[in-house]
Amino acid sequence: MNYELFLTLIGAITLMAAVLPHFLRNLPVSLPMVLVACGLLLPFALPNFPTIDVISFGLLIEKLTEFAVIMSLTGAGLKIDRRIGWRSWSTTWRLLAITMPLSIIMVALGGMWLVGLPLAAAVLLGAAIAPTDPVLAASVQVGKPREGNEPETRFALTSEAGLNDGLAFPFVYLSIALVSQGLGADMLWNWLTVSVLWKIGCGVAMGVLVGTVVARLVFVIVNPAKGAQGFVALSLTLTAYGLCELAHGYGFIAVFVAALTFRDFEREDEYHVVLHDFGEEIEMLFLALLLMMLGVAVAQGLLGYLSVPMVVLAVLVIAVIRPLCGWIGLLGSGLSYRQRVGISVLGIRGIGTFYYLSYALNNAEFDIELGRELWAISALIVLISVVLHGIWAPRIISVADEQDQIK
């Protein structure tokens, strides 16, 4: 592909990301569905289109998905109006402490029993698939800052997506440790103390620190009304992520916590809307690019490594495992039947899955063919999730919102 054609495609992708939501708003079709479909058609429309090999392109995929996720996490943190608290966030804690670990365990067991994956690969698949994606879940999240559109179902999905990406990372590290060190007491102790306790604690602490410092600089010293720009959202994101990663913590957690901390400093300031909108625009650009790349990779044979047991597992993840784990996590929560159904069913899988998968495959000696199988299963799960959530999510979230209004 020559340079001029590349620029044309990038221009077309960005234009689609900007205008398609307007045309799709009254249709049972989502923007992600259309973007993936366009990606599927590209190799046929352009016979010389470059081959996207998920293994050889692993580092590029890792960095693109990483940036998309952290920008989405900032947006999620900025848009939440509810102050953080044990009771006010009780639904979130249930999803993080019960639903996500249970999902990881069930997917890992399914990977070993149904597909025959080795333990390390099964754990990696469970960790990559378990989190609700902050990028693709935007359509079922709360509204912009200060809008007040924060029913429990939307809040639960937004806050869950903001935190469970970082909290799934210990299990990704566990899979990497299983490959490099094998299962043993020393490995498990190091994993617990470093990958779980230190990295999570570091992520929270760094997020609070960066969010507080940036908020004081912006609101106390500069004053947004006198010239602070929307790209401060980018600075907040990259600073929190970079410093936390340098301290060997979980940058995903730091970014979300930094956004929450920044938002809490001056909750009613309109500047939060400016930051949110800026971050959302960047997020949409990367979403469009990555979903079209997924479509291209699928058209070029990414799903060719699938077997019947892999397809069965993919269907079970979307139709059984996530809904069941979500329902179990919400038992005793006091939520209505419709709210529990909405939260349990709408845990969409997406860009975060690809980040974790590419990160682990780039940092551990997984067998290449096994890596392709993991990519095939994950891609199928994301495709199913994109299609089903694209069709059903508007209706499900509407019913759940109605229930919130009744309460």
Q: pTM for the complete prediction?
A: 0.92
Phi first, then psi: give them for residue 65, nearest 5 degrees: -70, -35
DSSP string spanning 127-193? HHHSSPPTTGGGGGS--STTS----HHHHHHHHHHHHHHHHTHHHHHHHHHHHHT-S-HHHHHHIII
What is the spatial distance between Cα 216 and Cα 24, in angstroms, rounded to a whole number?
Answer: 40
Largest CA distance in the chain: 61
pLDDT in tens, the chain (407 residues): 677 888 888 888 888 888 888 788 777 788 888 899 999 999 888 878 888 899 999 999 999 999 999 999 998 898 888 888 888 899 999 999 999 999 999 999 999 999 999 999 999 999 999 888 877 766 777 777 877 667 888 888 888 888 888 889 999 999 999 998 888 888 999 999 999 999 999 999 999 999 999 999 888 887 765 555 778 889 999 999 999 999 999 999 999 999 999 998 887 788 888 888 888 888 888 888 999 999 999 999 999 999 999 999 999 999 999 999 999 999 988 888 888 988 898 888 889 999 999 999 999 989 999 999 999 999 999 999 988 888 887 777 776 666 665 55
- Classified by CATH at the fold level, domain 62-406 comes out as Na+/H+ antiporter like fold (1.20.1530)
The burial class, CB within 10 Å (0-12 / 13-18 / 19+), for 119 is middle
Query: What pLDDT, on a 0 to 100 scale, did the predictor assign at position 30?
Result: 83
pLDDT value, residue 70: 93
What are the tokens at 65?
Answer: 């998905």
* 3-class SS of residue 10: helix
pLDDT at 402: 65
Convert 9-48 to b/e letters by CB count within 10 Å (16 or more is b): beeebeebbeebeeeeeeeeebbbbbbbebbbebbeeeee
Tokens at 20, concatenated: 């398609």
What are the Cα distances from residue 87, in Å, to 94, 100, 101? 11, 19, 21
Euclidean distance between CA atoms 319 and 39, whole angstroms: 25
Ranges of each domain in the chain = 62-406
- From residue 99, alpha-carbon distances to 54, 103, 121, 261, 277 in Å are 29, 6, 21, 25, 31
